[in-house]
Amino acid sequence: MKFEKEISSFLELEYGKTPQDATPTQLYNAVSKAAMRFLAPSWHKQPGKKRACYFSAEFLVGRLVYSNLMNLRLLEKCEDYLKQHGIDPAVFEQIEDDALGNGGLGRLAACFLDSAATHNLPLDGYGIRYRYGLFKQYFKDGFQKETADDWLRFGDPWSVCRPQEKVMVEFGDQKVWAVPYDMPVIGFGGKTINTLRLWEAQGVNEFDFDLFNKQQYELAVKERDEAEWISAVLYPNDDTPQGKRLRLKQQYFFSSASLQSILREYVARHGEDFSFFSQEYAIQLNDTHPTVSIPELLRILMGEYHLPFDQAFTIVKDTFAYTNHTIMAEALEKWDVNLFVSVLPSVYPYVVMIDDSLKRELRSCGILGGDQEKYKIVCTNMVHMARMAIYATHSTNGVARIHTEILKDRVLHEWFSLYPDRFNNKTNGITQRRWLALCNRPLADFITQKIGDGWITDLDQLERLRPLADDSTVLAQFMEIKAEKKKELCAYIKEQEGVQLCADFIFDVQIKRLHEYKRQLLNAFCILDIYFGLKDGRVKDFYPTVFLFGAKAAPGYYRAKGIIKFINEIARLINGDPKMKGKMQVLFVQNYNVSYAQKLIPAADISEQISTAGTEASGTSNMKFMLNGAVTLGTLDGANIEIVERAGEENNYIFGATVQEIEEARDSYHPKKLYEENPRIKRVVDTLIDGTFSDGKTGMFKELYDSLLEGADWHKADQYYLLLDFIPYCEQRLKVNRDYADRLSFTRKCFLNTANAGKFSSDRTIMEYANEIWDIG
């Protein structure tokens, strides 16, 4: 049946509606289901090909309907259909995006799936089908509040439940069903369709009739409820032992279920001869969350199929590879041995076997006694997951060049000395389908007009724009597109936040998770410094600017929440000051997510990437901004380094201490001295305590103040060097502002960022994984 007919007949059958009287949700389900029918014949695994499996606790896919239709080449058909019936094609923007991820790590996983399918690489994702995704954020009196994200309320037309493929997962105290829901991952053009398999936990005994009959109603459904907790929320709060227990259960739940389903496939083909396993499957561990897969595969091979340790361990090592996404200590997961044993008693012995094997290997390398401490997987009553992930796999990679170097030189240096060949770098990337073709259609059309549409699957072709950088008509068009996207953003923000922004201002944007190391607070201080400078005449000829923030803070991260409140207070002061009219505006948007990013990024002139050098593993929004023609105002950190290497330092704004300079400053760093000696620093920092702003008597601002000047029992004062980089940052920010006034030369910089963004396609990244780690190229 024709696609359009399929939509209408679905509406009629399911809802008894015509397109005109269907609700947006009904239309969304009808269009999505029609597309699912359309793709069904191509959704199958190619036999005889090695497959790669991406194990990840997060897949931040964002809104699927437009991207899936685009990839199936049905988007225009669908838009025509809607228009014919008098419906705005933007109608699906009312369908919120599902957020089964937190930030960069989850969004990267989604970009990888898109790129692999587009380039016909057999890569499937495996994760958890959370009942509630990342919380939704709103502000009340400037404070962050959280509510549950009930993403299923719109239906879930893009998933297919496969109950016949459920598997049992066993914990020490509980057994649950893992039921798979498969989503098609559609490559551009629709030729290759891979699968994202997400597991839902269900009770084995859903309902105890006997107990119910005895009026013990709660007990009758206890088992069901306890099973459902496992896939209830993404990253449940883990500040209590129960919370930690639940997280470990989640990790084992999807690791074990995914391995069981892969093994089922394999055994169906080869029986119990496992000699081909690692030639047919590669498994990538996305951070340490799925690392318990390592002893689990060993357990299955040895315990269920009776392979000897050496043979099983070789298969494990050849199959798994590990990606490290951060050097923040809290993310290198460790589990208390007692907790581990009580949750996973049948897995723990295999952890010990791996550890014993490691110790034998260390001994044979002459590493003995106390020198083994820093390697041991089980050490001081903890199971060290990152250590296991490095030892029991054949590849460990970082996500940007500097990040991998830091892993090799510092964080994981002892491992690098032992296994230098295992370490490799895979600089992150982003999919240009979502982050240009879909989110910035005017720019996409403009590029296609100039160089054809090959860039959609081969981003390096953007290079061909370079010769146009000196053509002022081309630059004028480029500028016009930015202006159009700013107007669109202003309309959207007016609707979402009730705030009217000035579309002809500079748009300066910092969007990412709220974390001290990302230094939103530094940005805030600098805005205040400019504000004070404008008031007292120190800052002159300032080009009017909108400062935009978007970020969620982890619900238990007190300081991050204090920073949000502080920025909201600054916004209130500045936006309410009549003298600032026509000069600056500050806004922290609520509930920043993938869909919001798709609006903000195309409208940005300046991309704020200001983390302390050495802390941001890569960053990926930096690449999205670059692709959409913004200049980077940033430090030499993460992928910023590779971005300016490509686009030219002269077309970006780099400032601040380098990794090496911070290293050298470390021991003698004295933020209080900087504060006392520099009145500009003192003035902005003092706003935390001098009554300029109110934190609603929570003490949050004083706590931030102390964190900068006094430190706390777990860290030194100003551990992320805000005050060290403050003046250079302000200077560079004013320089961008001055440069912007020369509209043509500034647009040229923006244009050259776009033209040089080719390297940052996740197509490039995924091909590197495919060729260099998975061998599926």
Just list the catalytic residues. Answer: 325, 512-513, 518, 620, 624
Task: Please tell me whether residue 634 binds ligand NBG under the rule CB under 6 A.
Answer: no
Query: Interaction with ligand NBG in 197-216: which residues (CB under 6 A)?
Result: none
CB-based contacts of 274: which residues, under 8 Å, 6+ apart?
266, 301, 305, 307, 311, 315
Size of the site for ligand NBG (CB under 6 A): 16
Task: Please tell me whether residue 614 binds ligand NBG under the rule CB under 6 A.
Answer: no
Read off the tokens for 166: 């459920």
Give CA torsion, residues 207, 210, 213, 218, to 10 deg.
Answer: -50
Task: Please tell me whether residue 620 binds ligand NBG under the rule CB under 6 A.
Answer: yes
For residue 479, CA distances in Å to 255, 297, 510, 582 come to 48, 54, 21, 21
Task: Please tell me whether residue 101 binds ligand NBG under the rule CB under 6 A.
Answer: no
Q: Which one of the spans 361-369, 585-593, 616-624, 738-746 is the region binding ligand NBG (CB under 6 A)?
A: 616-624
- Using CB under 6 A, pick the residue from 124, 149, 287, 642 that binds ligand NBG: 287
Question: Judged by CB, which is closer to ligand NBG: 290, or 638?
Answer: 638
Task: Please tell me whether residue 325 binds ligand NBG under the rule CB under 6 A.
Answer: yes
Question: Judged by CB, which is closer to ligand NBG: 201, or 412?
Answer: 412
Task: Please tell me whether residue 183 binds ligand NBG under the rule CB under 6 A.
Answer: no
Task: Please tell me whether residue 428 binds ligand NBG under the rule CB under 6 A.
Answer: yes
Task: Please tell me whether residue 108 binds ligand NBG under the rule CB under 6 A.
Answer: yes
Task: Please tell me whether residue 447 binds ligand NBG under the rule CB under 6 A.
Answer: no
Place of tokens 């998975």: 774
Nearest residue to ligand NBG by CB is: 104
**Sign of dihedral through CA atoms 317, 321, 326, 332?**
negative
Task: Please tell me whether residue 105 binds ligand NBG under the rule CB under 6 A.
Answer: yes
Which residue, among 476, 567, 547, has the nearest Cα to 505 in the 3D structure?
547
Read off the tokens for 686: 């003092």
In the complex, what is the shortest distance from the CB of residue 762 to ligand NBG, in angstroms, rounded to a whole number?
11
Q: Where are the beta strands (DSSP E) in 65-159?
A: 123-128, 136-140, 143-147
Which residue, among 708, 635, 712, has the nearest Cα to 673 in the 3D structure?
708
Query: Interaction with ligand NBG in 60-89: which residues (CB under 6 A)?
Result: none
In the complex, what is the shortest distance from the CB of residue 618 to ligand NBG, in angstroms, rounded to a whole number?
4
In the complex, what is the shortest distance from the CB of residue 325 to ligand NBG, in angstroms, rounded to a whole number?
3
Question: Judged by CB, which is closer to ligand NBG: 118, or 620?
Answer: 620
- Give the residue ranges of DSSP H helices in 370-426: 385-391, 401-406, 413-418
- Using CB under 6 A, pick the residue from 39, 211, 331, 451 that binds ligand NBG: 331
Question: Judged by CB, which is closer to ligand NBG: 32, or 286?
Answer: 286
Mark residues 6-45: x for contact with ligand NBG by CB under 6 A, - for none: ----------------------------------------
Question: Judged by CB, which is closer to ligand NBG: 404, or 477?
Answer: 404
Cα-based angle 337, 558, 128 (whole degrees, multiple of 5): 50
Read off the tokens for 99: 């957020």
Task: Please tell me whether residue 333 binds ligand NBG under the rule CB under 6 A.
Answer: no
Which residue, among 280, 274, 282, has the nearest Cα to 306 in the 3D structure?
274
CA–CA separation, 125 vs 284, rounded Å?
10
Task: Please tell me whether residue 100 binds ligand NBG under the rule CB under 6 A.
Answer: no
CA–CA separation, 247 vs 290, rounded Å?
11
CA–CA separation, 512 vs 102, rounded Å?
10
Q: Which one of the spans 134-142, 524-532, 612-620, 746-754 is the region binding ligand NBG (CB under 6 A)?
A: 612-620
Query: Interaction with ligand NBG in 391-420: which residues (CB under 6 A)?
Result: 399
Question: Judged by CB, which is closer to ligand NBG: 33, or 325?
Answer: 325
Q: Which one of the spans 65-73, 100-108, 231-239, 714-722 is the region binding ligand NBG (CB under 6 A)?
A: 100-108
CB-based contacts of 40: which residues, under 8 Å, 6+ apart?
none
Task: Please tell me whether residue 258 binds ligand NBG under the rule CB under 6 A.
Answer: no
In the complex, what is the shortest distance from the CB of residue 600 to ligand NBG, in angstroms, rounded to a whole number?
17
Which residue, among 226, 128, 229, has the nearest Cα to 180 in the 3D structure?
128
CA end-to-end distance (rounded Å), the chain: 36
Indicate the DSSP class of residue 662: H
Question: Judged by CB, which is closer to ligand NBG: 60, or 183?
Answer: 60
In the complex, what is the shortest distance from the CB of residue 324 to ligand NBG, in angstroms, rounded to a whole number?
9
Q: Which one of the spans 99-107, 197-205, 371-379, 702-710 is the region binding ligand NBG (CB under 6 A)?
A: 99-107
Task: Please tell me whether residue 430 binds ligand NBG under the rule CB under 6 A.
Answer: no
The answer to whether residues 91 and 20 touch, using CB atoms and an 8 Å cutoff, is no
Place of tokens 């940007």: 400
Cβ–Cβ contacts within 10 Å for residue 78, how many? 23
Which residue, among 396, 377, 379, has the nearest Cα to 388 in the 3D structure?
377
Q: Which residues bind ligand NBG (CB under 6 A)?
A: 103-105, 108, 287, 325-326, 331, 399, 428, 616-620, 638
